[in-house]
Each structure stands twice: as structure tokens, then as C-alpha cells.
Amino acid sequence: MTDDDLTDFGFKRIPAAEKARQVRGIFDSVADRYDVMNDVMSFGIHRIWKRIALEFGHIRAGQRILDLATGTGDLAARLCRAVGPRGEIVASDINAAMLARGRDRCVDQGLAGNIEFVQADAEHLPFADEHFDAVIMAFGLRNVTHKEQALAQMYRVLKPGGQALILEFSRPSRYVEPLYDLYSHKALPLMGKVIVDDADSYRYLAESIRMHPPQEELKAMMEEAGLEDCGYTNLTGGIVAIHRGYKY
């Protein structure tokens, strides 16, 4: 097996064909307590990051939006309110357990009228060309095996004039990085063990963040996929970044 047949899975190298299955297994394991863990491990700041990302997106009433890697649907719920009854949200995720929780969340909030849930792989989207006004992916790209293929798919399904918006963990500033690394690699697995009895999944989370392309590299990948006017904005000292690109 050559290096081209392998991909990162945290700090390990595994066969590329195995990554999607192993990622699904991780999120199956944590789905029931995923929202609780997000609040605990980010001290609730993930909600602010997502709100800021939507403000950057300038989502308008009546738009058709793809929420890629929707997870438990918290962003999809916000998007439903932003596009209103004339708009349309497609919430997509590769993981059936997470998608089911997202569907339940939106139904419980009375938001099921203009949202469709689709189980799909980000590398092989089952949507027509030039179908969406915006594609948004929050904290999902680092789990994709072939990120360049997912970016190309995002570009394909965007309408001319549409935007791709990616919110993802990134490379912190050199002042923040040492403390953040200590927190990520020591505290996160411990919290995973205590809260969801699954230290390994949150060890993978910390490692996957570290292996994800930093800001400038991801910007270059978006440009390679065909997106234009690409840029990013760091949040919380670069712990996360909002990347934007457009299809003209």
C-alpha cells in the first residue's frame, strides 16, 4: 500500500477507504451527548462562533441553503429562521444517528416545514449543479477524507453568485497555541471519558484539529476548487476561522 492510499485519522495513518467508516463510528458513539459535549468543551462559545458565521454569510429570506455536515442540526435551525417560509434548507450529513437528532431538534422547534434531511457523503453530493445560493459547513471538513473533492462538490452545487462558507477549527496564534494544545490533548479526552464514557473519540477530535490544514492552506485549496475572492477571519485567537469563497 502506497502513501497515496493512506489518509490521516487523527495522528494515525489509515487506508483512505476506511476513514469514512471510522468517522461514522465515532459520531455514532457520541451522538446522544454530542450537544452537551460541545457546550462543555467550548464553554458555550461554539454558539457564538456559529452566530458570527451566519452574520458573515448575510443569509437572506427566500434563499436555498445547503447545511453540509449538519450534525445535530443546531445551525440548520438557525438557517430555517433566516430564510423564512419562502426559503429552503437542505441539512445533510454522512452519519444517520446525528442526522436523526437534527431532524428531531427541528421538529421539536416547529421548523420542519422548509427543511429536508439528506444522508450524503460530502465528497459525492446527490444534488444538481448550481442548485444552492450558499453552502455552509461548520466543523465538518476536517473529518472528510478527500477535502479537495468535497470543496469541488461545494463549488459544483453553488449557483453563480453563490458563496461557500466554512467554519472550522484552525491554527491558533503562537501566543494561544501552547495552552490550546495542552487543553486539547489532555482535557478533551478526560471530558470525553467523564461525560460520554468515550475518551478515544475526543482524542481523535483533538488530533483531527491539529492535522487540519491551517488558514492559508485551506484558502489555497478553496481557490484550487474554483472559488474566487477567498478569504478568512480568525476567531478566538485563530482557534477557529471562518472561510468564505464565491462562485462567479
Task: Tell me 88's DSSP state.
Answer: E
Task: Tell me 143's DSSP state.
Answer: G
pLDDT tens-digit map of 100-134: 988 988 888 888 788 999 999 999 999 999 999 99
pLDDT tens-digit map of 174-199: 888 888 888 888 888 888 788 777 78
Q: Would you say 230 and 248 are in contact if contact means Cβ atoms under 8 Å apart?
A: no
pLDDT tens-digit map of 48-101: 999 999 999 999 999 999 999 998 899 999 999 999 999 999 999 999 988 998
Residues of the chain by 3-state class (helix, strand, coil), percent to 5: 50, 25, 25
Of the candidates 246, 215, 208, which has an alpha carbon nearest to the alpha carbon of residue 233? 215
Distance CA 233, CA 224 (A): 19
Measured in whole angstroms, the distance separating CA 145 from the mean position of its chain's CA atoms is 13
Please report, for the domain that includes residue 237, its CATH number.
3.40.50.150
Per-residue pLDDT, 181:
86
* 127 backbone dihedrals φ, ψ, rounded to 5°: -125, 155
Distance CA 208, CA 9 (A): 7
Number of domains in the chain: 1
Q: Any alpha helices (H) in the chain, and if so which ranges?
A: 16-30, 34-42, 45-57, 74-83, 96-108, 147-157, 177-182, 188-196, 199-211, 215-224
Domain limits for position 25: 3-246
Residues paired with 233 in a beta bridge: 242
Mapped onto helix, strand or coil, the DSSP state of residue 9 is strand
Grid cell listed for 160: 453563480
Mapped onto helix, strand or coil, the DSSP state of residue 115 is strand
